[in-house]
Structure 1
Amino acid sequence: MIAYHFPPLRGSSGIQRTLKFAQYLPQAGWLPLVLSAHPRAYQQTGDDQLKDIPAEVEVKRAFALDSARHLAIGGRYPRFFALPDRWVSWWLGGVPAGLSLLKRRRAQAIFSTYPIATAHLIGLTLHKLTGLPWIADMRDPMTEPHYPPNPVVRKWVGWVERKTVQHATRIVCTTPGTIEKYRKRYPDLPADRFVLIENGFDEENFTEAEAQGVAAPAPGPLHLIHSGIVYPSERDPTVLFEALGELLARGAIGPDTLRITLRATAHDELVNSLIEKYGIGSIVQVAPHVAYRTALAEMLGAGGLLVLQASNCNQQIPAKLYEYLRARRPILALTDPIGDTAATLRAAGVDTIAPLDNKEAIMEMILNFMRLVAEGRAPLPTPSVVAANSRRARSLQLAALLDEVTASPAAAMARAQEAVR
């Protein structure tokens, strides 16, 4: 399992996907071997999730640098050192380390996971060298017409995407919209190459968070939590802040009725500058990263949970959303009503949704949401939908996919040739 996002990295909900696969796959007959990056490549680290890695799961941390921090002079570095991404040096360490791991442990399949393109580059190389079946966990689309924003980076990431889709045995996506997009983008490929395995939540983590003690929502102002990264484009809070500023100026809301915490934004400086610009510091605050289970406990005790997802991500669903569903607190979703995020919420019985780029709609929804919560009528996710979204269930899906790709004649031949070598 080739994964950049893995403990001790912290600050990204994307860590949970591979970590939980590593925890639950052994129960389905598959033992993961994890190839990750050396912790020096991470901007933020923490040891609170290292204990979640099963003792039987070997983790190899290969040589890797972050070009922006380790290869920069005066804050600048050659673009070539960051193509397809800032961690391309991981390919230099990951390929020999991965090849050694594959041969020493006689691995039967390769799994690589985005959103670091270099992970798929390593997966492609190891697949070419060994012939082993390769599952590429694409999660979301790697490229869009204007993403990545830099055209040179977009060209390189697009090349990795094409090679991955063309050569991987299966492409795993986390939303139906992403599968539809890839099928249209690559119409000559068989439709069954693309497989849906959504994100989810981990019940054991929530049980542990609840054991820490969860405070009931405090009387007073409604406290909304946004837990996780606030991307400048994909989760741009500008229109929300503008709406809050206008409601505050009208006296429709105030510090005595509404409080919003943006936890672990990863872009604190930008978000704080917008808070100051719109004069909403009395009701909106940026808060630092906390341990994972502490963050879950905060969700469980929140008055409400805030989703930010722009229309340029209509084929994506934030991994955090599944934890929001499990927390079973009222959800205020600022996202495109026709996107996959909104569809998932409506399927769970949640319809408190407004577009992230429509100020008037946001203002109306905020006031409506506050009223529904105050009256105890805010829609909550249905238990049946929540139960279907566990990480354990997703791991069983991946195990079945591994069974499938390793049972093919081509895979058997590749394993036989590898054993001879």
Structure 2
Amino acid sequence: MKKKVLIISYYWPPSGGPGVQRWLKFVKYLPEFHIDPIVYIPEAPNYPLVDESLVSEIPNNVTVLKYPIKEPYKLAGLFSKKSSKTISKGIIPDYKKQSFIEKVMLYIRGNFFIPDARIGWVKPSVVYLSKYILENNIDTIITTGPPHSLHLIGLQLKKDLGVEWLADFRDPWTTIGYHKQLKLTKASKEKHKVLEKKVLNTASQIIVTSFTTKKEFQEITSQPIEVITNGYDYETTTAFELDSKFSIAHIGSLLSKRNPDVLWSVLSDLRKENDDFLKDFQLNFIGAVSVDVLESIRNNDLSDCVNEVGYVSHKEAIACQKKSQVLLLIEIDSEDTKCIIPGKLFEYMVSNRPIMAIGPNGSDVEKIIKETNTGVYFNYDDYESLKTTILEHYKAFKNKSLQSHPIGLQKYSRKQLTQQLVALIKK
């Protein structure tokens, strides 16, 4: 007999973006390990990104429960549709460039909705799920955040029903970079910390996606913490011809703080110094790009080589990765972001294309890239190293020999990661 597990998530197809991939793939493989996943999601949510192609990936036999949710971003859209949509995607403009409406919206979001804008879904979800859990003899639940308000559903269900509760953190809570942009009052910051501590000390098992987050949480709780990273799935895609241009591609949102001036400076100098490079080079952006990044690119005279594609479906994103000559991964240069391992990293790693990653020194991304031999990692001041590497890649491109040489990727496959999860569920 299969063990039933209730998974409480905000992101689920047709939601697009990286947040949906992790649990969609776990749900795909759990039945192979005699686990029957039941997914609980909001009805008619206000997803910032939509990817209808992901709906076809939902297993036919999975039970999906839905309950209505009131979304404050819909109300905010009455005042400024553009600002509410941009902020809900996580693209927060630099403070000096924020409009009055944006500043007000960020203050309200940060101080009136703690821990986040989905807090209003907690109480009705607890009532609905309490009845369902008892009627269906479910003894294990999993909450995944962000939004971290979903962990408060788990907290109350654990308290009321005594169920086993696994709290999955795809990102950290109080140390996540954007907290500093939410204009939190001292009281609001303290409330976040209190809730975070309560969740971490009540969950039966904590799951995190990075080694740095595990270390951070170990300072707050003695509850067991397991690292289960994101990963890659075997995508059935046709063979693609590589770009004829020497393309460097960034897939995913490029936020204001992810703006490596050193890279734009290197590329600008290479175009000035090398006529062939000037003719061959192309910079592809697949996903939302902040105006601050585009302005920096314009200031470095690179606008004419930019191909801004915008958001595409996950399937199209995979195709873009496989066609690109070089894949670019950028993280904010901060202590707070050392723990961030973007889900796309693992798809990058199996694309057979070399990765150039830029971020803070000593990050988890740096560790994984070096361990798997899938690319080169740089800090924000590595001008000479960046320039040398790009020239080496360009020379290999001209010789038609540019590719990556990965090692040890199997442990990051979605099926193998699901096996790790099953061990925790059956513990």
1:217 aligns with 2:242: yes
Aligned to 1:245: 268
Aligned to 1:287: 309
1:232 aligns with 2:256: yes
Asked whether the equivalents of residues 310 and 357 of structure 1 are also in contact (C-alpha less than 8 Å), the reply is no
Aligned to 1:47: 52
Q: Distance in 1 between matches of 2:278 and 2:196?
A: 47
Aligned to 2:87: none
Q: Distance in 2 between matches of 1:15 and 1:59?
A: 14
Identity %: 24
Q: Distance in 1 between matches of 2:361 and 2:394?
A: 20
1:321 aligns with 2:345: yes
Decide which of 196, 210, 229 is 1:161's aligned counterpart: 196
Q: Distance in 2 between matches of 1:291 and 1:351?
A: 25
1:37 aligns with 2:42: yes
Q: Distance in 2 between matches of 1:264 and 1:101?
A: 39
Q: How many residues align?
A: 389
Asked whether the equivalents of residues 310 and 356 of structure 1 are also in contact (C-alpha less than 8 Å), the reply is no
1:180 aligns with 2:215: yes
Asked whether the equivalents of residues 248 and 325 of structure 2 are also in contact (C-alpha less than 8 Å), the reply is yes
Post-superposition offset of 1:189: 1.4
Decide which of 325, 336, 357 is 2:360's aligned counterpart: 336
Q: Distance in 2 between matches of 1:44 and 1:392?
A: 26
1:130 aligns with 2:165: no
Query: CA-to-partner distance for each residue in 1:252-293, whole Å, 9 max, x for gaps?
Result: 77552221211112x454443333333211222321222211
What is the TM-score when the length of structure 1 is the normalising length? 0.84
3-state DSSP of counterpart to 1:41:
coil
Q: CA-atom RMSD, angstroms?
A: 2.5
Asked whether the equivalents of residues 350 and 379 of structure 1 are also in contact (C-alpha less than 8 Å), the reply is no
Distance 1:69 1:252, change over 3 A: farther
Post-superposition offset of 1:81: 4.2
Decide which of 315, 327, 331 is 1:305's aligned counterpart: 327
Task: Please list every run of 5 or more consecutive structure 1 residues that lacks an aligned counterpart in the other structure.
Answer: 405-421
Asked whether the equivalents of residues 262 and 380 of structure 2 are also in contact (C-alpha less than 8 Å), the reply is yes
Query: CA-to-partner distance for each residue in 1:93-141, whole Å, 9 max, x for gaps?
Result: 4323332332333222111112211121222122222110110111332
1:348 aligns with 2:348: no
Q: Distance in 2 between matches of 1:145 and 1:225?
A: 26
Asked whether the equivalents of residues 354 and 375 of structure 2 are also in contact (C-alpha less than 8 Å), the reply is no
* Larger mean Cα displacement after TM superposition, 307-316 or 75-84: 75-84
Aligned to 1:261: 284
* Larger mean Cα displacement after TM superposition, 254-263 or 127-136: 254-263
Post-superposition offset of 1:19: 0.4
Distance 1:62 1:246, change over 3 A: farther
Q: Which amino acid aligns with 1:157?
A: H
Mapping 1:36-75, distance limit 5 Å: 36-71=41-76, 74-75=79-80
Post-superposition offset of 1:338: 2.2
Q: Which amino acid aligns with 2:240?
A: A
Query: CA-to-partner distance for each residue in 1:332-378, whole Å, 9 max, x for gaps?
Result: 12233521101101111235221135445433432233234444665
Q: Distance in 2 between matches of 1:72 and 1:196?
A: 37
3-state DSSP of counterpart to 2:169:
strand
Q: Which amino acid aligns with 2:362?
A: I
Task: Please list every run of 5 or more consecutive structure 2 residues that lacks an aligned counterpart in the other structure.
Answer: 1-6, 81-103
Asked whether the equivalents of residues 2 and 113 of structure 1 are also in contact (C-alpha less than 8 Å), the reply is yes
Post-superposition offset of 1:70: 2.1
What is the TM-score when the length of structure 2 is the normalising length? 0.83
Aligned to 1:118: 149
Q: Which amino acid aligns with 2:75?
A: H
3-state DSSP of counterpart to 2:152:
helix
Aligned to 1:170: 205
Q: Distance in 1 between matches of 2:189 and 2:401?
A: 45
3-state DSSP of counterpart to 1:49:
helix
Query: CA-to-partner distance for each residue in 1:182-226, whole Å, 9 max, x for gaps?
Result: 22x22x615xx11111111111xx12xx2xx3322133x211221
Q: Distance in 2 between matches of 1:359 and 1:103?
A: 60
